[in-house]
Every structure is written in structure tokens, then in C-alpha cells.
């Protein structure tokens, strides 16, 4: 296939091509074609995230690796963030349940508590 321009639009991404029609390198290290097996769900999700970020699936994996996403420290940081987030949600639930305007002078407190507790469990 002959490309007459120096860029090509693939899924909304402008990718630079060299004069011989090959994609320009994205870094100093040479990329080599690899093959991996993924579920359709995983492949589609990678595509969705890549499209939002306007990068390729390969770029997404490269960036995740470069940023240390697979390290134990990163995973622990994510776990800590999740715990902090859930703690904040629990605090907000307590504030909501203590608000007489929301619970109609506490008449609906039990129903509100049941609904918000269910929401919290779904987030866990």
C-alpha cells in the first residue's frame, strides 16, 4: 500500500509515517511484533481505553509497563486508594443519615440507610 501523506488516521489517531511508508518509531527502543492471547472482552476494553486516550493498544500496554502498573507497590497504592475512597463514602453516608432534611426528620432514615449500605456493598 502506497501512502502519499506523512500521517495516516487510524481510529481517530494521527500516526506519522516515514518516507518509505512505515510507521515512525515511538521511542528509541525498537518495537518487535508480538502475539498474545486475550479474551474478546479484554481486547475490546483495551480498545475502548486506547481510543479515549487516542493511543494504540500497544501504546497503552507500553505506558502501563513504563509507569510500573504491574509492580507490587503500584498494586498496593491502588488498594490503599480504594480503601480511602470507601472510607470517604462511609463518612458521607453517615452525614447523609444525620441530615434531617434528607431523612425527613429521621422518618426515612432506615430506608436511606438500607439503600446507601447496599450501594456501599456494590462498590466493594
pLDDT band at 4 (very low <50, low <70, confident <90, very high): very low
| Structural domain containing residue 58 | 38-70
Among the listed residues 62, 21, 60, 27, the one whose alpha carbon sits nearest the alpha carbon of residue 44? 60
Residue 95 lies in a domain: yes
pLDDT in tens, 42-100: 999 999 999 999 888 999 999 988 888 878 887 888 889 999 999 999 999 999 999 99
* 83 and 106 in a common domain: yes
* 114 and 100 in a common domain: yes
Q: What is the DSSP string of the chain?
A: ----SSEEEETTEEEEB-TTSPBPPSSSSPP--------HHHHHHHHHHHHHHTS-HHHHHHHHHHTTTTSHHHHHHHHHHHHHHHHHHHHHHHHHHT-TTTTTTTTTHHHHHHHHHHHHHHH-
For the chain, what is the domain count?
A: 2
Residue 106 lies in a domain: yes
* 107 and 79 in a common domain: yes
Note if the pTM is more than 0.75: no
Residue 4 lies in a domain: no
Amino acid at each position: 500500500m502506497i501512502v502519499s501523506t506523512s500521517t495516516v488516521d487510524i481510529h481517530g489517531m494521527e500516526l506519522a509515517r516515514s518516507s518509505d511508508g512505515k510507521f515512525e518509531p515511538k521511542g528509541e527502543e525498537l518495537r518487535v511484533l508480538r502475539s498474545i492471547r486475550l479474551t474478546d472482552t479484554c481486547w475490546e476494553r483495551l480498545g475502548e481505553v486506547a481510543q479515549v486516550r487516542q493511543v494504540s493498544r500497544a501504546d497503552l500496554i507500553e505506558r502501563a509497563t513504563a509507569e510500573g502498573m504491574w509492580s507490587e507497590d503500584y498494586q498496593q497504592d491502588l488498594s490503599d486508594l480504594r480503601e480511602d475512597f470507601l472510607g470517604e463514602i462511609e463518612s458521607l453516608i453517615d452525614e447523609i443519615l444525620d441530615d434531617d432534611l434528607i431523612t425527613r426528620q429521621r422518618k426515612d432514615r432506615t430506608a436511606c440507610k438500607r439503600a446507601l449500605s447496599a450501594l456501599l456493598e456494590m462498590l466493594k
